C-alpha cells in the first residue's frame, strides 16, 4: 500500500461510493474551503492502483483538521494504522504544528430519550489513535462545530407516503403543521442575488443564540461549489411573501443534509422551521432519498435541550460518533497559536457587536422614516 495525494477526480469518485462518505469529506467542500483561504490536501491510500482510503485535510496557520474522515473501512485495522502513520508523516513533513482527526465511526444509535438501540465498540479505534500518540477528546456532549459527535437523523426506509412519515411525528408537531400549513409556502431561490433574503433569517437566529454569522460571500461560495447538489429554500407567508424561515440543503449520494437554517424573529410564532422540516421529508420521498440528516445536537437528553426537542419531534434516530483525536506536533508553536486565536476571537466579537448594533440603528431609522411618510 502507498500513502499518496489524490486528484480531485480520484477523490470524488472514491468518496461518493463509500458507505461512510459524507459532505464534510467531499470535493465540493474542498472547493469551498479553498475559497475560504484554507490549504486543502486530498490524501489517500492506494493498494496497487485502487484507492482504499481517502480524506480531505484542511490546514490554516499550520493547524490541520480532518472532519468526519478519513473515508475507509474501519474494520480493517491494518489499513487504519497505515493511514494514521501516513497522515502523521505528511503533517510532520509539511511543518504542521497540530493535527485533529474526527473519524466517521459510530459508537451508538440511540432513541430520542438517549436509550441505546444499537451499540458499537469504539475502544479499539481509540487505542489505535492512542498508540500513535493522539490524545482523545472523550465522550463529550457539547455541540462540536468542527465535526458533530451527535447527529439527529431521520431514516425513511420502509416509509412510502407522507402520511406514514407524519404518523411518526410527535402529536404536537402534527398539530402545528395543521395550523401553519394554510399560511405558508416554500420558495426555492433561483439566483444568487436572492441569497440575502435567506441569510437575513439565518443572521437573526444566530444573533438570538449568540452565534457569529457568516459573511454573504460564504453562502455564495456554497451556491457555486455544490451547484445542482444544493438547494436554498425559504418558507414564506402566502399573503405577502414575507420570509419566515430559511434553510440550505446539501444533497449527497448517502443523504440529504440540513446544513444551515434560521428563522425571522418577527414571524417565529409561525413555526417556519417545522414547516420546512416537514417539506424536506416529503421532498425526500419524492426523490427517493432514504436518509435525512438534521445535523448536530448536544448529547444532552434532559428537558433543557431545545434543539433535541425540536428535531426529535420528527421521529429521528440519534447517532453518536466516536469524536475527536488530536496530535500536538510542535507544543511551543501550538500554544502561541492558541493565544493568537483567542485574541482574534475577542476582536471578532467586538466587531460583530458593533455590526449588529449598526443594523439595529438602521432598522430603527427605517421605521421612523416609514412612520413619518405614512403620517404625511
What residues are paired with 56 via a beta bridge? 42
Burial class (CB in 10 A: 0-12, 13-18, 19+), 340: exposed
Q: Nearest CA to 154 among 306, 313, 272?
A: 313
Alpha helices in 94-142, H assignment, sequence order:
123-131
pLDDT at position 277, please? 97
Distant-in-sequence, close-in-space partners of 107: CB < 8 Å, separation ≥ 6: 119, 120, 122, 139, 320, 321, 322
Q: Nearest CA to 255 among 80, 68, 75, 122?
A: 68
Q: Does the reported pTM lie above 0.85?
A: yes
Report the chain (376 residues): mean pLDDT per 10 consecutive residues.
Answer: 97 96 96 97 97 98 97 97 98 98 97 95 96 96 89 96 97 97 98 97 92 92 96 98 98 95 96 97 96 94 88 96 97 87 67 62 59 55
Distant-in-sequence, close-in-space partners of 41: CB < 8 Å, separation ≥ 6: 5, 56, 57, 58, 59, 90
pLDDT at position 342, please? 76
pLDDT at position 145, please? 82
Q: What are the structural domain ranges in the chain?
A: 158-289
**The three grid cell numbers given for residue 36, joined into one nine-digit string:** 475560504
pLDDT at position 209, please? 85
Distance CA 81, CA 76 (A): 9
Backbone angles phi, psi at 65, to 5 degrees: -145, 135
pLDDT at position 303, please? 78
CATH assignment of 158-289, given 3.40.50.410, 3.40.630.30, 3.30.1330.10, 3.40.50.1100?
Answer: 3.40.630.30
pLDDT at position 339, please? 83
Q: Is 95 helix (H, G, I), strand (E, B) or coil?
A: coil
pLDDT at position 35, please? 96
Distance CA 54, CA 142 (A): 28
Amino acid at each position: 500500500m502507498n500513502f499518496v495525494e489524490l486528484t480531485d477526480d480520484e477523490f470524488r469518485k472514491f468518496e461518493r461510493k463509500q458507505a461512510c462518505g459524507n459532505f464534510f469529506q467531499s470535493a465540493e467542500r474542498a472547493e469551498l474551503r479553498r475559497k475560504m483561504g484554507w490549504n486543502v490536501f486530498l490524501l489517500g491510500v492506494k493498494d496497487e492502483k485502487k484507492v482504499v482510503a481517502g480524506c480531505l485535510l484542511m490546514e490554516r496557520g499550520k493547524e490541520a483538521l480532518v472532519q468526519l474522515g478519513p473515508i475507509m473501512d474501519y474494520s480493517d485495522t491494518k489499513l487504519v494504522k497505515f493511514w494514521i502513520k501516513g497522515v502523521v508523516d505528511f503533517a510532520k513533513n509539511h511543518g504542521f504544528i497540530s493535527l485533529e482527526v474526527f473519524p466517521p465511526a459510530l459508537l451508538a444509535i440511540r432513541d430520542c430519550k438517549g436509550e441505546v438501540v444499537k451499540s458499537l465498540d469504539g475502544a479499539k479505534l481509540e487505542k489505535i489513535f492512542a498508540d500513535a500518540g493522539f490524545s482523545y477528546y472523550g465522550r463529550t456532549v457539547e455541540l462540536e462545530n468542527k465535526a458533530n459527535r451527535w447527529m439527529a437523523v431521520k431514516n425513511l426506509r420502509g416509509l412510502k407516503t407522507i402520511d406514514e412519515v407524519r404518523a411518526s411525528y410527535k402529536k404536537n408537531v402534527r398539530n402545528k403543521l395543521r395550523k401553519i400549513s394554510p399560511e405558508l409556502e416554500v420558495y426555492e431561490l433561483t439566483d444568487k442575488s436572492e441569497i440575502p433574503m435567506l441569510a437575513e433569517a439565518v443572521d437573526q437566529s444566530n444573533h438570538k443564540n449568540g452565534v457569529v454569522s457568516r459573511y454573504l460571500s460564504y453562502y455564495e461560495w456554497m451556491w457555486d461549489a455544490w451547484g445542482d447538489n444544493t438547494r436554498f429554500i425559504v418558507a414564506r407567508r402566502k399573503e405577502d411573501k414575507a420570509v419566515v424561515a430559511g434553510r440550505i440543503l446539501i444533497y449527497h449520494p448517502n443523504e440529504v443534509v440540513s446544513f444551515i437554517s434560521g428563522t425571522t424573529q418577527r414571524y417565529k410564532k409561525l413555526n417556519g422551521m417545522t414547516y420546512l422540516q416537514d417539506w424536506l421529508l416529503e421532498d425526500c420521498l419524492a426523490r427517493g432519498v432514504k436518509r435525512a440528516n438534521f445535523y448536530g445536537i448536544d448529547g444532552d437528553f434532559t428537558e433543557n435541550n431545545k434543539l433535541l426537542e425540536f428535531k426529535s419531534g420528527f421521529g429521528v434516530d440519534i447517532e453518536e460518533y466516536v469524536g475527536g483525536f488530536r496530535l500536538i506536533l510542535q507544543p511551543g508553536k501550538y500554544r502561541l497559536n492558541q493565544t493568537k486565536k483567542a485574541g482574534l476571537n475577542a476582536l471578532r466579537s467586538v466587531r460583530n457587536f458593533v455590526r449588529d448594533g449598526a443594523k439595529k440603528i438602521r432598522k430603527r431609522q427605517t421605521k421612523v422614516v416609514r412612520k413619518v411618510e405614512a403620517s404625511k
